[in-house]
C-alpha cells in the first residue's frame, strides 16, 4: 500500500463499495428482558477519537459496539480515554459517568486500531457505521470513503470544509438512500435551543428585523489572526511609507520566526493529519491538539466552530433561507465562487514515513 495516494481528484471520483457481513439474530433466540440482540446493535468505528470523537464514543458505548478506532495520535487518544474515568481534579468519576466510562474503556481496549482510516475501511468488514470527528478539513474525505464502503456516517460539524464538498456528500446520500447520514450539532438538539426558538416563533419578542451573532472562541480558546510558524530566520526590516520599519508584514515575520521548529512527536502521523491540504504545513505544537481551527487550512475558523451552533439558531427560529452566493477572499480560498476545490495534495498511504 506504500505510495498509494488519495488525491482531491479521487475524492470526487467513484470507488468500489465493500460488502457488508452483518449476521442477523432474532431477538427471541437470545431472550432476556432488556437484552439487546446483535441485530439491534451497531458495530461502530470512530475516526478522530482524541477530541469530540471520544465524547461521541462515550454516548455510544452503553448500547453499541466500538469495534475500531482510527486516529493519527494514539498517545493523545490514551490521555483522553483516561479523562473519561476521572474528573478535572483527577478523582474517579461517580455513578453513570463512571459506568459509561468503564464500558467505553472495555470496548476501547478490544477495538482494533488504525492510523489510516482507509486501511480500516479496506480491512475491517464488520463495521456498520462510522463516526467522524477529525479536524474540519478531513470530514468530507473520510465521510465519502465510508459511504462508498457502504457504511452509515455521523459527521461532526461543520459537515464539510467547502460548499463543493457539501454538494458531493449530498449527491452521494441521495444516490444511496439506504445509508443513514447525519451531521452532529449538539446545540441544535438541546432543550434550551428548542425552547428559545419556540418563543421566537410564537412572536413573544415581536418581529425580528436584525440578528447579531458573536462568539469569544478565538479570544478564549484558540488563537486566530496570527502567522503560521515558519521556523526560518526573522525577516530583514523593510521600509514603510510612514517611516516606521515595523510594518504588519515585518511583525508577522518576526512572530512566525519566533515560534521556532519542532520535530514530529513519536507516534504522530503528521502526514495523515495534514491530509489533503494543498500547501506543505510542517508540524508545530501550536496546531495539535485543538488550536488547528485558528488556520483556514485546517478548518473554517469561527464560522466552522461556534458559527455552526450560533448562526444555526436564527436561521432555525426565523425560517431563513440559505444564501445562494457569497463573495470575498475566504470564498476564493475555499473554492466557493467557482464551486471548485483548490486543495489537491494527496494523503500519503499508510506505511509511509511521517512528514517531519
Confidence at residue 150, expressed as pLDDT on a 0 to 100 scale: 94
Question: Which grid cell sits at 204?
Answer: 413573544
Sequential pLDDT tens for the chain (356 residues): 444 544 444 444 433 332 223 333 344 444 555 556 666 789 999 999 988 898 899 888 889 999 999 999 999 998 888 888 877 777 878 888 888 888 888 899 999 999 999 999 999 999 999 999 999 899 999 999 999 999 999 999 888 888 889 999 999 999 999 999 999 887 788 888 889 889 999 999 999 988 888 877 767 777 777 888 988 888 888 777 777 888 888 888 898 998 889 999 999 999 999 988 878 889 999 989 888 888 878 876 666 677 777 888 888 888 887 766 655 444 434 433 333 343 432 344 443 333 32
Is the Cα dihedral 115, 121, 125, 128 positive or negative? positive
Q: Where are the domains of the chain?
A: 1-214+268-356
- In 3-state terms, the chain is what percent helix, strand and coil (to 5)? 40, 10, 50
- Which fold would CATH assign to domain 1-214+268-356? Rossmann fold (3.40.50)
In the three-class reduction of DSSP (H, G, I as helix; E, B as strand; rest coil), residue 212 is classed as: coil
Are residues 46 and 154 in contact, defined by beta-carbon separation less than 8 angstroms? no
Between CA 80 and CA 70 the distance in angstroms is 14
DSSP character at residue 136: G
CA torsion, ordered 183, 184, 185, 191, to nearest 10 deg: 120
pLDDT value of position 325? 63
pLDDT, position 87: 75
pLDDT for res 80: 83
- Measured between alpha carbons, how far apart are the two ends of the chain, in Å? 21
Note the pLDDT of residue 4. Answer: 52
Residue with cell 416563533: 201
Are 46 and 107 in contact by the 8 Å Cβ rule? The answer is no
Rounded to two decimals, what is the model's pTM? 0.76
Amino acid at each position: 500500500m506504500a505510495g498509494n495516494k488519495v488525491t482531491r481528484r479521487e475524492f470526487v471520483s467513484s470507488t468500489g463499495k465493500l460488502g457488508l457481513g452483518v449476521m442477523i439474530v432474532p431477538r427471541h433466540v437470545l431472550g432476556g428482558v432488556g437484552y439487546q440482540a446483535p441485530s439491534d446493535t451497531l458495530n461502530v468505528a470512530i475516526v478522530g477519537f482524541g477530541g469530540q470523537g471520544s465524547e461521541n464514543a462515550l454516548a455510544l458505548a452503553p448500547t453499541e459496539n466500538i469495534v475500531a478506532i482510527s486516529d493519527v495520535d494514539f498517545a493523545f487518544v490514551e490521555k483522553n480515554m483516561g479523562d473519561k474515568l476521572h474528573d478535572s481534579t483527577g478523582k474517579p468519576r461517580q455513578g453513570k459517568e463512571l459506568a459509561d466510562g468503564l464500558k467505553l474503556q472495555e470496548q476501547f481496549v478490544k477495538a482494533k486500531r488504525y492510523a489510516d482510516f482507509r486501511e480500516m475501511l479496506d480491512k475491517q468488514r464488520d463495521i456498520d457505521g462510522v463516526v467522524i470527528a477529525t479536524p474540519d478539513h478531513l470530514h468530507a474525505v473520510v465521510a465519502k470513503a465510508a459511504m462508498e464502503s457502504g457504511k452509515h456516517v455521523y459527521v461532526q460539524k461543520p459537515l464539510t470544509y467547502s460548499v463543493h464538498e457539501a454538494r458531493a456528500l449530498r449527491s452521494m446520500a441521495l444516490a444511496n438512500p439506504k445509508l443513514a447520514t447525519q451531521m452532529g450539532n449538539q446545540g441544535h438538539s438541546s432543550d434550551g435551543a428548542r425552547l428559545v426558538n419556540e418563543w421566537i416563533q410564537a412572536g413573544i419578542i415581536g418581529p425580528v428585523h436584525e440578528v447579531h451573532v458573536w462568539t469569544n472562541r478565538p479570544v478564549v480558546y484558540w488563537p486566530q489572526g496570527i502567522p503560521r510558524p515558519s521556523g526560518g530566520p526573522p525577516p530583514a526590516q523593510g521600509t514603510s511609507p510612514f517611516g516606521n520599519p515595523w510594518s504588519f508584514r515585518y511583525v508577522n515575520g518576526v512572530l512566525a520566526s519566533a515560534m521556532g521548529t519542532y520535530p514530529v512527536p513519536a507516534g504522530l502521523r503528521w502526514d495523515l493529519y495534514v491530509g489533503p491540504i494543498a500547501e506543505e504545513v510542517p508540524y508545530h505544537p501550536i496546531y495539535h491538539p485543538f488550536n488547528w481551527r485558528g488556520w483556514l487550512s485546517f478548518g473554517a475558523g469561527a464560522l466552522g466552530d461556534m458559527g455552526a451552533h450560533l448562526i444555526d439558531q436564527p436561521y432555525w427560529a426565523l425560517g431563513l433561507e440559505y444564501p445562494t452566493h457569497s463573495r470575498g477572499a475566504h470564498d476564493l480560498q475555499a473554492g466557493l465562487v467557482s464551486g471548485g476545490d483548490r486543495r489537491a495534495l494527496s494523503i500519503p498511504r499508510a506505511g509511509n514515513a511521517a512528514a517531519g
